[in-house]
Amino acid sequence: MKQKKPPKVMAGQRWRLFLAAVLVLVVTGVGAYRHYLAPGSLISPLEQRAQTSGMGEPIYDDVHLLSRMVASEARGEPYQGQVAVAAVIVNRVRSPKFPGTVAGVLFEPAAFEPVLNGTFWTAPVSEEHIRAAEQALNGWDPSYGSLFFWNPATASSPWIWTRRIITSIGQHVFGL
Amino acid sequence: MDGRKATALALALLLLVVAGHWVWQNQRRMRAAEYALEANYQRAFFDMLENMENLDCLLGKSLASNSRGQRIMTLTGIWHEAERARGNMGCLPLGMVNLMRSQQYLAQLGDYCRLLAQRQARDQDLAAEEWQQLCRFHQQTRDIQDGLREVLAGIREEDLKWRSFAALKRDQRLTPAGQSLADGFGRIDEGLRDQVPTLTYDGPFSDHMEEREPMMALGERISKEEARDRALEFLDLKGRSGYRIEKTTKTRGRIPAYNIVIQREKDTSPIALDVSQQGGHILWMLTSCTPRESTLSLSQAVAKGEEFLEKKGYKNMVPTGTIVEGNQLSLSFVRREEGVIMYPDLIKLTLALDNGEIVAFDALGYLMCHHQRDLPPPVLKAEEAEKMVCQQMEIQQTRLAVIPLGTWEERFCYEVRGKVNGDTYLVYINALTGEEEELLQLLETEAGTRAI
């Protein structure tokens, strides 16, 4: 068929056809990738460990969620800052002012930005993040019982500054 | 129209159809997600209404009842119902409204009633003050319920959807209807803040728990330079080279301290530690390292930990628990005095299992709780304590211990370790009264033993 095309084809028309075809391919390609491939391709050290560790270990689920929190909220922070972020979640679980489980605290509506914008699920979790979460679950707390942490450069709520500041580590301020 | 134009048109149409289908499907999916979200919020709200009604009813019954068994049932019911209400409240998308006081109110109500139930079960009568407190709780619960009914009326009138809240960012303005709903919750919270006095009792959620201070004298105030010296001494870097102190800042926690960050040349990441401003104690130390292998055995690692504590001046410390995480081992040590295990005097260590280096240290528990205890001689003999545990228990070991109660309080007990139905438990029998104070199950996992 293609060989029998009339010879009058203008270069511009062919180009337009090509562009349309590329567009269709790109749209369907991206759609298919997002549909079928993306979730599976995100295998972090966390999942790898989950496959080797034993079953029915309730504390493990908390490590899983906490290290995601560390990965999304404390990326690039010094290690003590990562442990402190995880410790704030643990402190909230123990506090009467917040829900009594790790999941309850993390998924309290509008409590944490990464949960709202989805980076909580996409930020790659490193071994360091997992260790920071474990250390906080084991009781290390560089924030001394802090219930809040915020970035002074980007914090939008003036209310947050009414809190008693305990310490500041890296980009974060920790307070009660 | 030649063939090429037709193809182009067909292609354009196809594109349009594909795009249209995609938009329609997305819309449908989004709406489904929104309805699912709304259903969740509605469930949380209506369940909370029911929880509050149950609380009202149970509080009333606990006041009216004169039977101990009945009262224990209602008080325990209050505890559970209050926790459920708290969970449901935490699911509502009211992030912009501050609900901390309401959360705290429910937590304390439940905690208080749990302790009352425990006391009733130990044949203690309800004190006049406790009865009064239950009356106050009853009234406050009714006030909250009134507030919630107002909110409900507002929702019905305006046909308000909860999900419209969830979509809002913190700094975005609410619609007038949304604002009235938020205000309704804000009023409930403020009402509690204004009318409910701070509540002090023996539970872990009591208001006095927030203002804890160390029980021992920490020592003289030290300067920044002295603190750095202590840090270097602790890390065995004093008088050596190959490190630099990156920064020293102040922290204002329960024990005010200097936060010192030290980078050793051989490490990739720095070591952070806090040195108390009074007495120069190392409160905690943390460093990030990922050991690639485990060459030390558990007992070798425990011996290394013991040796480290001995060197740092913590004598008579006995290991009480281990957790293996990757190629690291976390250990807890507690003090033993004249054969009595002092669980509150707790120090934790994390060791790298390749070279035995200490990568994390935490003495905050020890420094907060250690003090001269002057324990009386036990009233009960060990054999008597063993007779007080569950009859089916095969006893393995009995020793004296001081245990923390989740509050500032401690109890002098016999720790009876034994097996029931295949599982291992620790039972704590008060060495003076014979009361069963605490019961822990030892959960054997691959990583180590956890007491729950």
B446 in reach of chain A (CB within 8 A): yes
Between B173 and A142, the more confident residue is A142
Look at A100 and B286 and tell me if their CB atoms are within 8 Å: no
Q: Residues 315-354, chain B: which have Cβ within 8 Å of A?
A: 323, 325-326, 328, 330, 348, 350
Look at B288 and A110 and tell me if their CB atoms are within 8 Å: no
Domain limits, chain A: 10-41, 45-175
Q: For residue B274, which phi and psi values (nearest 5 degrees)?
A: -110, 130
Distance in Å from the first CA to the final CA of chain A: 76
CB-based burial label for B320 (10 Å; 0-12, 13-18, 19+): middle
| pLDDT under 50: residue ranges of chain B | none
Closest CB from A31, A57, A98 relative to B103: A98
Look at A144 and B446 and tell me if their CB atoms are within 8 Å: no
Between B23 and A39, the more confident residue is B23
Q: Set out the domains of chain B in order of their start, with CATH numbers.
A: 3-211 (no CATH), 213-288 (3.10.450.40), 290-368 (3.10.450), 382-451 (no CATH)
A9 in reach of chain B (CB within 8 A): yes
Q: Where are the beta strands (DSSP E) in A15-164?
A: 148-150
B362 in reach of chain A (CB within 8 A): yes
- CA B407 – CA B410 distance, rounded (Å): 8
> Letter for the amino acid at A14?
R
Q: Residues 83-112, chain A: which have Cβ within 8 Å of B?
A: 83, 94, 96-101, 104-105, 108-111
B66 in reach of chain A (CB within 8 A): no
**Chain B neighbors of A137, CB-CB under 8 A:** none
Considering just the CA atoms, what is the radius of gyration of chain B in Å?
30
The percentage of chain A sitting over the pLDDT mark of 70, rounded to a whole number, equals: 70
Band the pLDDT of A41: cuts 50, 70, 90. Answer: very low
pLDDT digits (tens, 9 = 90+) for B128-180: 999 999 999 999 999 999 999 988 988 888 777 787 766 655 556 666 767 77
Determine the pLDDT at residue A10: 57
Chain A residue with the nearest C-alpha to that of B210:
A145
Whole-Å CA distances, B162 to A109, B91, B94, B158: 11, 11, 9, 12
**What is this structure's pTM?**
0.83
- Count of other CB atoms within 10 angstroms of residue B408: 16
- CA A161 – CA A30 distance, rounded (Å): 43
Closest CB from A24, A111, A138 relative to B330: A138
Q: For residue B448, which phi and psi values (nearest 5 degrees)?
A: 155, -170
pLDDT digits (tens, 9 = 90+) for B56-94: 999 999 999 888 999 999 999 999 999 999 999 989 887
What is the complex's ipTM, to 2 decimals?
Answer: 0.88
Q: For residue B104, which phi and psi values (nearest 5 degrees)?
A: -65, -40
Q: Are B105 and B140 in contact (CB under 8 A)?
A: yes
**Chain A neighbors of B284, CB-CB under 8 A:** 140-142
Chain A residue with the nearest C-alpha to that of B93:
A109
Query: Residue B327 carries which DSSP code?
Result: T
Residue B20 tokens read as 């249209």
CA B343 to chain A, closest CA, distance in angstroms equals 15
For the stretch A117-135, what's the b/e string if a residue is b when 16 or more beta carbons lie within 10 angstroms of its beta carbon?
eebbeebebbbbbbbbbbb
Alpha helix (H) ranges present in B244-381? 298-311, 364-369
Between A15 and B281, the more confident residue is B281
* Top-level class of domain A45-175: mainly alpha
Query: Residue A43 carries which DSSP code?
Result: -
CA B126 to chain A, closest CA, distance in angstroms equals 24
Whole-Å CA distances, A10 to A14, A15, A131, B2, B449: 7, 9, 64, 13, 78
The SS3 of residue A96 is: coil
**Chain A neighbors of B204, CB-CB under 8 A:** 94
For residue B204, the surrounding DSSP H or E stretch is none
Determine the pLDDT at residue B132: 92
B107 in reach of chain A (CB within 8 A): yes
Q: A166: Cβ–Cβ under 8 A, 6 or more apart, which residues?
A: A143, A144, A145, A146, A174, A175, A176, B251, B252, B253
Chain A residue with the nearest C-alpha to that of B109:
A96
Determine the pLDDT at residue B326: 87
**Chain A neighbors of B2, CB-CB under 8 A:** 6
Whole-Å CA distances, A96 to B111, B209, B279, B364, B405: 9, 11, 32, 22, 17
pLDDT digits (tens, 9 = 90+) for A57-114: 234 568 889 999 999 999 999 999 999 999 999 889 888 888 888 888 999 887 898 9
Determine the pLDDT at residue A160: 83
Determine the pLDDT at residue A111: 85
CB-based burial label for B417 (10 Å; 0-12, 13-18, 19+): middle
Closest CB from A13, A27, A127 relative to B4: A13
Look at B259 and A167 and tell me if their CB atoms are within 8 Å: yes
**Chain B neighbors of A131, CB-CB under 8 A:** 288, 290, 325-326, 328
Q: Are A116 and B171 in contact (CB under 8 A)?
A: no
Q: Are B88 and B52 in contact (CB under 8 A)?
A: no
**Chain B neighbors of A141, CB-CB under 8 A:** 284, 364
A75 in reach of chain B (CB within 8 A): no
**Chain A neighbors of B15, CB-CB under 8 A:** 20, 23-24
- Count of other CB atoms within 10 angstroms of residue B220: 10
- Count of other CB atoms within 10 angstroms of residue B431: 27
Q: How many CB contacts within 8 angstroms connect chain A with chain B?
A: 154
